[in-house]
C-alpha cells in the first residue's frame, strides 16, 4: 500500500481546546511517550508529523497543535478546514474547559461539515481524581449530544488511554475501514479497552500502537 | 576564597535588606523604583554556594564581581557552567589565553573576564529572594549549573544537544569576553561611567554603536541598555507611581479571589504562569520548596498589572514569555514598562484581542519576502492561487470572495488570505522570537530591536527565511525530485484536468506542510547569533538590509488599509464562509444585487488603488530598490546627456 513510503496516506489531525487542558501534552505523550509537569504555552500553531503503524498498515499523521486562548481562534479555521480528525480536549478538573467544547465543536462543524470529520472529545487529566469537576457520564452525554465519534478520558501524565485513543482514531480512518468492525460503535466507552492486541513489528521512527498500554498509575506528585 | 565567601554572605545580607528583594513585594512596601540594576546583583547562586561547597567556585566569583579589583579569580568560575569538570577547566584556560591574545592586554583582559563573570549572575537574578534556607537543594543546583545556560535555561532541547551547546559556548564565551572589552573601551572613551559593572547611560546613536549592538550587548548590561535604548525612563517618568498603584489593585484582586469570574484575564494568566519557561531554573518550583518562585510572583504581578493598564490587550498568550524574559534582565517595574513599550511601539496591535496587528505584520512580511526574497516566495506562495481550485487550501483567516471578483483580487490576495506559513511566522512576532530561536540569538535580536526599532524584526525574519533556503530546497527536492524545482509547478502534466486539479491540491497541501515544517524547525537550530549576522545582516548584497523603519511603517499602513478595504467589502457583500448559503441567496435577491454591484465597485476601486498603491509604494517608499537604482541611472544618463 505504501510505495516505498512515498505515497503514505496522510491524515491531518487538529487539536483544539482551552488553554492548559493538555493538548501539547497529549501530542508529546503520543509522539515520544514522555510527560512533563509543565509545557510551554503554545503560541500560534505547532506542526508535527509521525508515521504510525497499525494492522500491517502504515499511515502518516500530521498533528496540528493550537494555542488555546480564545483570541487565537481566528487564526485556526483553515487548519480545521482540511482536517480529517478533530480532537477537542478538556480538563476534567476544570468545568469551564468542558463548557467550552461546544464552541470548539461548533467551529469544527462550521468549517468542516458534520460528516467529513472524525470528531473526538477527550477529557484529560484523568489521574487527578480528587479534583474532578466533570464526571465521565457528563462527558459521555456531551459527546453523544454533540455527535462526537469518539469519547475518551485520558491521562497524559499516567500515560493512560493515549495510545488507545490514537488507535481508535486510526481505526476510524478509511484506511482501516475494511479490516475492522465498525470502529465508531463503542463511542462512549471510556475504560481502557484491552481488546485486540495486534502484533506489529517495531520500526524505527514509527509509532506502533498495536500494543496496549496497561499502566493506570495514580497519585499526583504536585 | 574565604574572603570571597565573606563577601558573598555580606552581599546576601545586604540584598535581603535593601536589594531589589524588598522591591519585589516581599517587604512591607513596594518600592520598585530604587535599584539601578537590581536583578543582576541579586544572587541565587550565592546561597547555593553556602549550602553546597561543591558549587562554591561558580558563586565565589560572583561575590567579588562587583568589586573585582583584586582580580584573583579564575576564569573557570566565570563561565562556570560546570565547576568540577576537567574539560571545562581546560576550556576555561583556553578562554583565558584566547582573550588574552585577542586583546593583548592582560590587565584589561583579566578585568573584562572577571566582569564577564557577571554574565553568569544574569542567570541568578532574583531567585534568592525568598528562599529561606538553601540546604537540601545543592545537588539539584549543581546539576542545573551543568545543564543550564547562563540565564538558567536548559541547554538541551529537541533541536540542540548539550554537547552541541557546550562546544559552541566554548567559542562563543570567548567572543562575549572580547565584545565586552570593546564595549568597556567604547564607554570609557565616551566618558560614561561603569559603576558596579552596570552602566546606565550609553553613547549617542551612531553607526559604530549600531554595529556594537548588532554584535551583542554584554549580557549583564542588557537590562540597562534595553531600558536606555527603548527610552524606558521617559515612559516611567510620565507615569510615576502608576505601577505601585496598579500593584495595590492587583494585590487586592489576587489575594481576595483568584477565581474572580468578573475578571477572566486573571484565570488565564494564572494558567500560563507555570507554563512560562518551565525549563528555566528561575521559573521552577522544585528549587523553592517554600511556595512559589519569586519569579512567578513577579510575572503574575506584571501581567495582571498590564491587563489592568491596557484592557484593550488585556492578556494575550506569548506576553508571558516576553514579560518573563524581561524579568530575567530588569526589575519588576521596569519590566512592566518595557512590556508596555514592546506591545505598543515595537509590536503594535499584535496582541490585541482580534490579533489584527499580527496579521498586518504578516502581510508586511509577505510583501517583503515577495519583493526581496523571490526565491523563497516561490515556496511560500507559488502560483497556486491563479487556478480556480485554490479556494479550499489557500485561504487562511479571511473568508472567500465570489468568483467574479476573485480574479481581480489575486494580485495581492495574500494580504487577506495570508499564506499558511504565516501561522508559523506569526508566533515569531507575537513572542518576539522567544522559543523560536535559541536564547542567545533571541537576545541579540532584542538588542537590535530596541536600538533599531521594529523594522529589525522584519530583517531578522527575512534573514531566517533566507538561511532556511537550503533546507527548503532539500526538502522539496526530495519530494519533487521529478521535473521541477518549484513545488507547485506540476501543471502541464498529461492528466485530465480534474485529476490535475486534484493532484495539484494534494501537492499543495503536502508542500505547505513540508514548508511549514522546515520553517518551524529551522530557526530552533540557530544556536549561534553570529550566523544570522555574519551571513546575512552584515552582508550588503542582501537588499533587504536597506529596509528602514520608515519603510516598514508605511508598509504597515498600506497593509492595514488594504485589509480594511477588504473587510469592508466582505461586510457589505455579506459573504462569509459561515453564511455562504445565505449570501448566495442574497445574491439572487434583486435588491441585494445592487448592493453587490456597489460592493463590486468598491472592491474594484480598492483593487485598482491596491495595485497602484503597491506601485506607488514601489517608488514612493523606495520599495523596489532595483527600480530605484534604475531611476537613478536614468537620471544620471539624462544629466550626462545634457
Task: Mutate one of A9, A27, A44, A79 to test the B interface: name it (highest B CB count within 10 A).
Answer: A44
- 3 state DSSP class of A124: strand
Residue B271 touches chain A, beta carbons under 8 Å: yes
B267 to chain A: closest CA residue: A19
**CA–CA separation, B603 vs A134, rounded Å?**
49
From B75-84, B132-141, B283-292, B569-578, the region with the lowest mean pLDDT: B75-84
Kindly list the strands in the beta sheet with A45-54, ordered across the sheet, starting from the edge strand earlier in the chain: A150-153, A118-124, A85-91, A10-17, A57-66, A45-54, A206-208
Residue A77 sits in a domain of what CATH number? 3.40.50.300
pLDDT (tens digit, 9 = 90+) per residue, A29-46?
999 999 988 899 999 899
Which residues in A lie closer than 8 A to residue B395 (C-beta atoms)?
Answer: 78
Which pLDDT does position B287 carry in this prediction? 54
Q: Which residues pair with A61 in a beta bridge?
A: A11, A50
Which pLDDT does position A205 carry in this prediction? 53
- Contact between A141 and A172 under an 8 Å Cβ cutoff? The reply is no
Residue A76 domain-assigned (yes or no): yes
**Of residues B242 and A6, more confidently modeled:** B242
Q: Which residues pair with B134 in a beta bridge?
A: none
Task: Mutate one of B423, B436, B509 to test the A interface: name it (highest A CB count within 10 A).
Answer: B423
Same domain, B164 and B303: no
Q: What is the mean pLDDT of residues A82-105?
A: 94
A47 to chain B: closest CA residue: B517
DSSP B460-490: HHHHHHHHTHHHHHHHHHHHT-SS-SSTT--
Residue A107 touches chain B, beta carbons under 8 Å: no
Q: Which residues pair with A62 in a beta bridge?
A: A12, A49
Residue B114 touches chain A, beta carbons under 8 Å: no
Residue B321 touches chain A, beta carbons under 8 Å: yes
**CA–CA separation, A38 vs B279, rounded Å?**
9
Q: Which of residues 170-189 of A touch B (CB under 8 A)?
A: none
Q: What is the mean pLDDT of residues B169-189?
A: 97
Q: In Å, how far are A31, B346, B349, B458 from B554, measured between CA atoms? A: 44, 14, 15, 13
A40 to chain B: closest CA residue: B275
Same domain, B340 and B360: no
B518 to chain A: closest CA residue: A47
CB–CB of B275 and A40 under 8 A? yes
Which pLDDT does position A112 carry in this prediction? 84
pLDDT (tens digit, 9 = 90+) per residue, B22-54?
333 333 333 333 223 334 333 333 333 333 333
From the list A39, A74, A75, which residue is nearest B275 (CB)? A39
From the list B271, B316, B423, which residue is nearest A45 (CB)? B423
Residue B577 touches chain A, beta carbons under 8 Å: yes
Which pLDDT does position B341 carry in this prediction? 98
Residue A111 touches chain B, beta carbons under 8 Å: yes
CB–CB of B430 and A44 under 8 A? yes
| A96/chain B closest Cα distance in angstroms | 11
Q: Which three cell numbers stand for residue B515?
A: 514548508
Which pLDDT does position B534 carry in this prediction? 96
Number of domains composing chain B: 3
Which pLDDT does position B441 carry in this prediction? 98
Residue B532 domain-assigned (yes or no): yes
Residue A3 touches chain B, beta carbons under 8 Å: no
Which residues in A lie closer than 8 A to residue B354 (C-beta atoms)?
Answer: 71, 74
From A97-111, B64-78, B132-146, the region with the lowest mean pLDDT: B64-78
Residue reference for cell 468492525: A181
Which residues in A lie closer than 8 A to residue B431 (C-beta atoms)?
Answer: 43
Q: Which three cell numbers stand for residue A25?
A: 501534552
Pairing mode of beta strands A57-66, A45-54: antiparallel
**CA–CA separation, B464 vs B526, rounded Å?**
9
Residue B324 touches chain A, beta carbons under 8 Å: no
Residue A208 domain-assigned (yes or no): no
Cα Rg of chain B (Å, integer): 27
Q: Return the closest-CA partner of residue B127 out of B44, B8, B216.
A: B44
- Contact between A152 and A120 under an 8 Å Cβ cutoff? The reply is yes
Residue A192 domain-assigned (yes or no): no
From the list A40, A82, A111, which residue is nearest B435 (CB)? A40
Residue A182 domain-assigned (yes or no): no
Same domain, B303 and B204: no
Same domain, B335 and B361: no
Q: In Å, how far are A42, B108, B133, B344, B489 from B9, measured between CA atoms? A: 41, 28, 13, 42, 69
In the structure, what pLDDT confidence band is assigned to residue B636 with cuts at 50, 70 and 90?
Answer: confident
Chosen domain end from B192, B226, B260: B226
Same domain, B369 and B414: yes
Q: Which three cell numbers stand for residue B297?
A: 510572583
Q: Return the closest-CA partner of residue A164 out of A182, A144, A143, A150.
A: A150
Same domain, B386 and B530: yes
How distant is the alpha carbon of residue B9 from its chain centre? 36
Which pLDDT does position B618 carry in this prediction? 41
Which pLDDT does position B574 carry in this prediction? 66
| B175/chain A closest Cα distance in angstroms | 30
Which pLDDT does position B258 carry in this prediction? 57
Q: What is the mean pLDDT of residues B621-638?
A: 64
Q: Which residues pair with A93 in a beta bridge?
A: none
**CA–CA separation, B274 vs B296, rounded Å?**
7
Q: What is the mean pLDDT of residues B56-68?
A: 34
CB–CB of B353 and A71 under 8 A? yes
Which pLDDT does position B640 carry in this prediction? 65
Q: Which three cell numbers stand for residue A108?
A: 469544527
First to last CA, chain A: 46
Q: Return the closest-CA partner of residue B301 out of B16, B18, B26.
A: B26
Phi/psi at B23 (5° precision): -65, -25
pLDDT (tens digit, 9 = 90+) per residue, A121-146?
999 999 999 999 999 999 999 999 99
Q: Return the closest-CA partner of residue B85 out of B160, B155, B2, B163.
A: B163
Residue B118 domain-assigned (yes or no): no
First to last CA, chain B: 80
Same domain, B387 and B477: yes
How distant is the alpha carbon of residue B40 from its chain centre? 21
**Of residues B90 and A22, more confidently modeled:** A22
**CA–CA separation, A80 vs B141, rounded Å?**
44
What is the number of other CB atoms lying within 10 angstroms of the CB of residue B579?
13
Residue B509 touches chain A, beta carbons under 8 Å: yes
Q: Which residues pair with A27 in a beta bridge?
A: none
Q: Is the pLDDT of residue A105 over 80?
A: yes
B320 to chain A: closest CA residue: A41
CB–CB of A41 and B316 under 8 A? no
Q: What is the count of residue pairs from A and B with beta carbons less than 8 Å apart? A: 91
Residue B519 domain-assigned (yes or no): yes
Which pLDDT does position B288 carry in this prediction? 53
| B538/chain A closest Cα distance in angstroms | 30
What is the number of other CB atoms lying within 10 angstroms of the CB of residue A214?
9
Which residues in A lie closer than 8 A to residue B508 (C-beta atoms)?
Answer: none
Residue A106: CB partners within 8 Å, gap ≥ 6?
none
Residue B312 sits in a domain of what CATH number? 1.10.8.270
| A74/chain B closest Cα distance in angstroms | 7
| Total length of chain A | 222
Q: Is the pLDDT of residue B365 over 60?
A: yes
- 3 state DSSP class of B55: helix
In the structure, what pLDDT confidence band is assigned to residue A76 with cuts at 50, 70 and 90?
Answer: confident
In the structure, what pLDDT confidence band is assigned to residue A206 with cuts at 50, 70 and 90?
Answer: low
- Contact between B278 and B321 under an 8 Å Cβ cutoff? The reply is no
Which residues in B lie closer than 8 A to residue A112 (C-beta atoms)?
Answer: none
Which pLDDT does position B255 carry in this prediction? 79
Mean pLDDT value across chain B: 72
**CA–CA separation, B153 vs B164, rounded Å?**
15
CB–CB of B272 and A20 under 8 A? yes
Residue B320 touches chain A, beta carbons under 8 Å: yes
Which pLDDT does position B605 carry in this prediction? 57
Chosen domain end from B226, B260, B283: B226
Which pLDDT does position A26 carry in this prediction? 97
Same domain, B384 and B453: yes
Chosen domain end from B226, B261, B285: B226
Give the range of the structural domain holding residue B179, as residue numbers without chain letter: 144-226
Same domain, B275 and B362: no
pLDDT (tens digit, 9 = 90+) per residue, B304-362?
999 999 999 999 999 999 999 999 999 999 999 999 999 999 999 999 999 999 999 99
Q: What is the mean pLDDT of residues B214-236?
A: 97
From the list B275, B395, B509, which residue is nearest A41 (CB)? B275
Residue B620 touches chain A, beta carbons under 8 Å: no
Q: Which residues of B613-639 are buried (b: 16+ CB within 10 A; e: fewer)?
A: bbeebbeebbbbeeeeeeeeeeeeeee
In the structure, what pLDDT confidence band is assigned to residue A166 with cuts at 50, 70 and 90?
Answer: very high
Residue B451 sits in a domain of what CATH number? 1.10.472.80
In the structure, what pLDDT confidence band is assigned to residue B595 with cuts at 50, 70 and 90?
Answer: low
**CA–CA separation, B102 vs A73, rounded Å?**
53
Q: Give the dihedral of Cα atoms B215, B216, B217, B219; nearest 10 deg.
A: -150
Q: Which residues of A192-208 are buried (b: 16+ CB within 10 A; e: fewer)?
A: beeeeebebeeeeebbb
Q: Return the closest-CA partner of residue A90 out of A39, A140, A16, A162.
A: A16
**Of residues A205 and B530, more confidently modeled:** B530
**CA–CA separation, A144 vs A151, rounded Å?**
9
Residue A75 touches chain B, beta carbons under 8 Å: yes
| A187/chain B closest Cα distance in angstroms | 29
- Contact between B524 and B160 under an 8 Å Cβ cutoff? The reply is yes
Residue A156 domain-assigned (yes or no): yes
Which residues in B lie closer than 8 A to residue A49 (C-beta atoms)?
Answer: 513, 517
H or E element that contains B68: none
Q: Return the closest-CA partner of residue B566 out of B409, B350, B363, B402.
A: B409
Same domain, B366 and B515: yes
Q: Which three cell numbers stand for residue B478?
A: 526530495
Which pLDDT does position B224 carry in this prediction? 97
pLDDT (tens digit, 9 = 90+) per residue, B9-18?
444 333 333 3
Which pLDDT does position B502 carry in this prediction? 65
- Contact between B514 and B520 under an 8 Å Cβ cutoff? The reply is no
Q: What is the mean pLDDT of residues B552-560?
A: 92
Task: Mutate one of B158, B259, B271 to test the A interface: name it (highest A CB count within 10 A).
Answer: B271
CB–CB of A20 and B271 under 8 A? yes
Q: Which three cell numbers stand for residue B91?
A: 576550556
Residue B10 domain-assigned (yes or no): no
| A193/chain B closest Cα distance in angstroms | 32
From B102-111, B232-241, B554-563, the region with the lowest mean pLDDT: B102-111
Q: In Å, how far are A14, A146, B363 from A126, measured between CA atoms? A: 21, 21, 42
CB–CB of A75 and B397 under 8 A? yes
- Contact between B183 and B202 under an 8 Å Cβ cutoff? The reply is no
Q: In Å, how far are B9, B128, B142, B148, B181 from B139, measured between CA atoms? A: 20, 16, 5, 14, 34
From the list A71, A81, A82, which residue is nearest B316 (CB)? A71
Same domain, B342 and B362: no
Would you call B506 exposed, middle or buried from its count of C-beta atoms within 10 A (0-12, 13-18, 19+)? middle
Same domain, B315 and B422: no
pLDDT (tens digit, 9 = 90+) per residue, B422-450?
989 999 999 999 999 999 999 999 999 99
Candidate ranges B94-98, B170-174, B411-415, B554-558; pick with highest mean pLDDT = B170-174
From B9-18, B500-509, B571-580, the region with the lowest mean pLDDT: B9-18
Number of domains composing chain A: 1
Q: What percent of chain B has pLDDT over 70?
A: 57
Residue A32 touches chain B, beta carbons under 8 Å: no
Sign of CA dihedral B377, B378, B379, B382: positive
pLDDT (tens digit, 9 = 90+) per residue, A61-71?
999 999 999 99
Pairing mode of beta strands A206-208, A85-91: unpaired
Q: In Å, how far are A45, B79, B100 from B576, measured between CA atoms? A: 23, 58, 67
**CA–CA separation, A173 vs A12, rounded Å?**
11
Residue B201 domain-assigned (yes or no): yes
Which residues in A lie closer than 8 A to residue B355 (C-beta atoms)?
Answer: 71-72, 74-75
Which residues in A lie closer than 8 A to residue B418 (C-beta atoms)?
Answer: none
Q: What percent of chain B has pLDDT over 90?
A: 46
pTM of the model: 0.74
Q: Which three cell numbers stand for residue A149?
A: 465519534
Amino acid at each position: 500500500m505504501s510505495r516505498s513510503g512515498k505515497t503514505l496516506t496522510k491524515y491531518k489531525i487538529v487539536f483544539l481546546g482551552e488553554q492548559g487542558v493538555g493538548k501539547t501534552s497529549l501530542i508529546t505523550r503520543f509522539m515520544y511517550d514522555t510527560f512533563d509537569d509543565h509545557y510551554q504555552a503554545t503560541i500560534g500553531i505547532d506542526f508535527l508529523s509521525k508515521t504510525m503503524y497499525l494492522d500491517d498498515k502504515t499511515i502518516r499523521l500530521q498533528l496540528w497543535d493550537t494555542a488555546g486562548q480564545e483570541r487565537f481562534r481566528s487564526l485556526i479555521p483553515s487548519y480545521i478546514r482540511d482536517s480529517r480528525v478533530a480532537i477537542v480536549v478538556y480538563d476534567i478538573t476544570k468545568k469551564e474547559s468542558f463548557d467550552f467544547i461546544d464552541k470548539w465543536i461548533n467551529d469544527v462543524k462550521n468549517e468542516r461539515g458534520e460528516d467529513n470529520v472524525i470528531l473526538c472529545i477527550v477529557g484529560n487529566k484523568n489521574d487527578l481524581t480528587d479534583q474532578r469537576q466533570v464526571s465521565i457520564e457528563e462527558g459521555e452525554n456531551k459527546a453523544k449530544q454533540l455527535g462526537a465519534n469518539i469519547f475518551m478520558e485520558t491521562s497524559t501524565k499516567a500515560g493512560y488511554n493515549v495510545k488507545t485513543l490514537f488507535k481508535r482514531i486510526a481505526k476510524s480512518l478509511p484506511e482501516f475501514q475494511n479490516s475492522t468492525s465498525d470502529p465508531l460503535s463503542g463511542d462512549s466507552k471510556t475504560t481502557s479497552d484491552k481488546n485486540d492486541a495486534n502484533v506489529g513489528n517495531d520500526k524505527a521512527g514509527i509509532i506502533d500502537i498495536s500494543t496496549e498500554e496497561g499502566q493506570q498509575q495514580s497519585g499526583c506528585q504536585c | 576564597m574565604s574572603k570571597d565567601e565573606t563577601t558573598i554572605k555580606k552581599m546576601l545580607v545586604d540584598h535581603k535588606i535593601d536589594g531589589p528583594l524588598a522591591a519585589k513585594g516581599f517587604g512591607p512596601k513596594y518600592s520598585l523604583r530604587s535599584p539601578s540594576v537590581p536583578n543582576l546583583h541579586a544572587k541565587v547562586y550565592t546561597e547555593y554556594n553556602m549550602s553546597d561547597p561543591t558549587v562554591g567556585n561558580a558563586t565565589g566569583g560572583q561575590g567579588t564581581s562587583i568589586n573585582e579589583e583584586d582580580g584573583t579569580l579564575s576564569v573557570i568560575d566565570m563561565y562556570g557552567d560546570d565547576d568540577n569538570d576537567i574539560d571545562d577547566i581546560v576550556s576555561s584556560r583556553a578562554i583565558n589565553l584566547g582573550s588574552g591574545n585577542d586583546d593583548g592586554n592582560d590587565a584589561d583582559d583579566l578585568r573584562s573576564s572577571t566582569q564577564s563573570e557577571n554574565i553568569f549572575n544574569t542567570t541568578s537574578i532574583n531567585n534568592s529572594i525568598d528562599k529561606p534556607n538553601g540546604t537540601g537543594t545543592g545537588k539539584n543546583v549543581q546539576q542545573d549549573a551543568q545543564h543550564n545556560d547562563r540565564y538558567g535555561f536548559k541547554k538541551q532541547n529537541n533541536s540542540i544537544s548539550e554537547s552541541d551547546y557546550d562546544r559552541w559556548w566554548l567559542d562563543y564565551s570567548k567572543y562575549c569576553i572580547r565584545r565586552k572589552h570593546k564595549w568597556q573601551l567604547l564607554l570609557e572613551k565616551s566618558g560614561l561611567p561603569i559603576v558596579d559593572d552596570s552602566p546606565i547611560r550609553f553613547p549617542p546613536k551612531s553607526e559604530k554603536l549600531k554595529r556594537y549592538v548588532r554584535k551583542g550587548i554584554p549580557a549583564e548590561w542588557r537590562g540597562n541598555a534595553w531600558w536606555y535604548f527603548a527610552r524606558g525612563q521617559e515612559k516611567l517618568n510620565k507615569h510615576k507611581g502608576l505601577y505601585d498603584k496598579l500593584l495595590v489593585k492587583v494585590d487586592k484582586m489576587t489575594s481576595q479571589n483568584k477565581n474572580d469570574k468578573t475578571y477572566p484575564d486573571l484565570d488565564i494568566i494564572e494558567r500560563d504562569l507555570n507554563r512560562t519557561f518551565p525549563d528555566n531554573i528561575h521559573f521552577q518550583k522544585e528549587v523553592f520548596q517554600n511556595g512559589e518562585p519569586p519569579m512567578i510572583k513577579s510575572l503574575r504581578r506584571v501581567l495582571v498589572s498590564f491587563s489592568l493598564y491596557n484592557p484593550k490587550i488585556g492578556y494575550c498568550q506569548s506576553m508571558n514569555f516576553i514579560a518573563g524574559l524581561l524579568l530575567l534582565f530588569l526589575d519588576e517595574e521596569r519590566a512592566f514598562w518595557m512590556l508596555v513599550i514592546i506591545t505598543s511601539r515595537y509590536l503594535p496591535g499584535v496582541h490585541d484581542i482580534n490579533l489584527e496587528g499580527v496579521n498586518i505584520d504578516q502581510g508586511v512580511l509577505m510583501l517583503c519576502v515577495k519583493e526581496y526574497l523571490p526565491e523563497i516566495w516561490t515556496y511560500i506562495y507559488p502560483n497556486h492561487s491563479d487556478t480556480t481550485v485554490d479556494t479550499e487550501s489557500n485561504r487562511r483567516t479571511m473568508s472567500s470572495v465570489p468568483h467574479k471578483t476573485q480574479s481581480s483580487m489575486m494580485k495581492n490576495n495574500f494580504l487577506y488570505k495570508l499564506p499558511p506559513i504565516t501561522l508559523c511566522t506569526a508566533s515569531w512576532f507575537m513572542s518576539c522570537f522567544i522559543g523560536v530561536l535559541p536564547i542567545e540569538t533571541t537576545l541579540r535580536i532584542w538588542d537590535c530591536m530596541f536600538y533599531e526599532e521594529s523594522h529589525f524584526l522584519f530583517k531578522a525574519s527575512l534573514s531566517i527565511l533566507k538561511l532556511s533556503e537550503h533546507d527548503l530546497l532539500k526538502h522539496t527536492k526530495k519530494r519533487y525530485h521529478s521535473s521541477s524545482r518549484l513545488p507547485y509547478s506540476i501543471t502541464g502534466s498529461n492528466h485530465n484536468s480534474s485529476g490535475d486539479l486534484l493532484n495539484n491540491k494534494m501537492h499543495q497541501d503536502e508542500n505547505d506542510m513540508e514548508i511549514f515544517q522546515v520553517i518551524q524547525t529551522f530557526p530552533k537550530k540557530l544556536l549561534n547569533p553570529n550566523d544570522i549576522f555574519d551571513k546575512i545582516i552584515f552582508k550588503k548584497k542582501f537588499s533587504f538590509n536597506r529596509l528602514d523603519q520608515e519603510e516598514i511603517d508605511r508598509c504597515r499602513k498600506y497593509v492595514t488599509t488594504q485589509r480594511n478595504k477588504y473587510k469592508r467589502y466582505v461586510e457589505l457583500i455579506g459573504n462569509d464562509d459561515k453564511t455562504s448559503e445565505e449570501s448566495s441567496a442574497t445574491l439572487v435577491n434583486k435588491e441585494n444585487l445592487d448592493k453587490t454591484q456597489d460592493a463590486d465597485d468598491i472592491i474594484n476601486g480598492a483593487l485598482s488603488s491596491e495595485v497602484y498603491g503597491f506601485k506607488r509604494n514601489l517608488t514612493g517608499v523606495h520599495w523596489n530598490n532595483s527600480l530605484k537604482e534604475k531611476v537613478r541611472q536614468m537620471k544620471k544618463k539624462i544629466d550626462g546627456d545634457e
